[in-house]
């Protein structure tokens, strides 16, 4: 694959700060590790968990990292990238993922989903891990559907592990009185905080090493500026770093200095 001029300019072997980063290559900061540990706990205990964080904080990559570590022979992961599929959608997704044709009538469909979940564990010895991303978009009726699923088997044991992943408003939604029953079933919750400046510096270095550059490339004051611009949020920091690298290459610089960082800020904050 050919490299963009700015990638080649800095002697990088591949484009840094890529979205499609492999789970094994993720930067293992503490908040990331803790999120992965909680997700893994939910899987092992068949429990319900909530992971929240601001846009671009690293929620979905923590799910990817946790899922990559699971034994595929013993787990059936059902990943819902976006729950904007209305009522019934949750049950239909579960039923289809477990290899059946969804029944039409609502009560039957729910019973079918419940039975399939139970059978997966009891007969196929596979634990279902239901992950709902963008869970702050779940409608009240969908949260109620989820609650009914966790209710099956008269609470003796949950037939699946459930992870709700979403923006910080999700916690508020769940705390609303009507969902108290679901809220109480949540065994663990974790909020992925933004990176501090030390983590941002290490994060930038990590991505550059992945791209084949061992020596420092960003000056300290440039790092500080990019960190402030991004508020320590990884996706925003990716964008800021790329903008600063492009500015540096355009100006023929060997290092990304504060002037490059200022150009990145101007580019990313323009109206
Ligand atoms: N630990 C990490 N190591 C390397 N890159 C990371 C890490 N965390 C986040 N990133 C980068 O930041 C981007 C955004 O992360 P992610 O998609 O997980 O955010 P999110 O919290 O799910 O955001 P959204 O709310 O928009 O869904 C990723 O595509 C990746 O490039
Ligand atoms: Mg996400």
199 shares its domain with 133: no
108 shares its domain with 49: yes
> Which residues fall within 8 angstroms of residue 92, CB to CB, at 6 or more apart?
85, 102, 109
| Cα-based distances in Å from 175 to 140, 184, 186 | 12, 9, 11
* Ligand at shortest distance from the CA of 29: 1
166 shares its domain with 201: no
Closest Cα partner for 264 from 12, 55, 34, 17?
Answer: 17
Q: What share of the chain is helix, strand, coil (3-state, %, to 5)?
A: 55, 15, 35
133 shares its domain with 217: no
| In-domain check, residue 25 | no
- For a mutational test of ligand 1's pocket, the pick from 208, 235, 240, i.e. the residue with the most ligand atoms closer than 8 A to its C-beta, is 235
Could you tell me the CATH number of the domain that includes residue 98?
A: 3.40.50.300
Tens digits of residue pLDDT in 70-107: 999 999 999 999 999 888 899 999 999 999 999 999 89
Which residues are found with C-beta within 5 Å of the ion, ligand 2?
A: 59-60
Tens digits of residue pLDDT in 37-77: 999 999 999 999 999 999 999 999 999 999 999 999 999 99
Residue 178 pLDDT: 77
Question: Which segments of the chain are extended strands (E)?
Answer: 48-53, 75-80, 127-132, 160-166, 186-192
Domain finish residue from 192, 211, 226 = 192
Within 10 angstroms of residue 69's Cβ, the number of other Cβ atoms is 13
Task: Assess whether the C-beta atom of 58 lies below 6 angstroms from ligand 1.
Answer: yes
Which of the 8 DSSP states describes residue 167?
A: -
Residue 180 pLDDT: 85
| In-domain check, residue 186 | yes
107: left (phi over 0), alpha (psi -120 to 50) or beta: alpha
185 shares its domain with 221: no
Average of per-residue pLDDT across 134-141: 94
187 shares its domain with 231: no
- For a mutational test of ligand 1's pocket, the pick from 15, 29, 30, 56, i.e. the residue with the most ligand atoms closer than 8 A to its C-beta, is 56
Give residue 254's domain range. 5-16+195-269
Domain finish residue from 177, 192, 207 = 192
Least-confidence region, from 70-79, 90-99, 174-183, 239-248: 174-183
Domain finish residue from 159, 192, 225 = 192
Tokens 């903008």 belong to 243
Task: Assess whether the C-beta atom of 61 lies below 6 angstroms from ligand 1.
Answer: yes
């Amino acid at each position: 694959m050919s490299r963009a001029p700015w990638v080649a300019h800095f002697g990088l072997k591949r484009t840094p700060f890529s979205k499609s980063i492999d789970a094994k290559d993720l930067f293992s900061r503490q908040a990331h590790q803790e999120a992965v540990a909680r997700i893994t706990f939910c899987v092992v205990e068949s429990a319900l968990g909530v992971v929240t964080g601001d846009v671009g904080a690293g929620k979905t990559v923590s799910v990817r990292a946790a899922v990559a570590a699971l034994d595929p022979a013993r787990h059936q992961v059902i990943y819902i990238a976006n729950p904007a599929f209305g009522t019934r959608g949750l049950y239909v997704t579960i039923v289809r993922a477990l290899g059946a044709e969804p029944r039409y009538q609502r009560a039957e469909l729910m019973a079918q989903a419940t039975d399939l979940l139970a059978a997966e564990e009891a007969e196929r010895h596979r634990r279902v891990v239901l992950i709902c991303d963008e869970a702050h978009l779940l409608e009240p009726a969908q949260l109620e559907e989820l609650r009914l699923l966790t209710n099956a088997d008269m609470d003796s044991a949950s037939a699946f592990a459930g992870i709700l992943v979403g923006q910080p408003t999700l916690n508020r939604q769940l705390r609303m009185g009507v969902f108290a029953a679901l809220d109480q079933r949540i065994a663990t919750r974790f909020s992925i905080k933004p990176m501090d400046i030390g983590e941002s510096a290490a994060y930038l270095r990590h991505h550059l090493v992945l791209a084949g550059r061992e020596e420092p490339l960003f000056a300290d004051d440039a790092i500080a500026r990019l960190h402030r611009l991004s508020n320590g949020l990884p996706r925003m920091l990716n964008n800021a770093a790329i903008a600063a690298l492009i500015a540096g290459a355009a100006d023929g610089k060997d290092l990304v200095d504060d002037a490059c960082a200022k150009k990145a800020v101007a580019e990313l904050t323009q109206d």
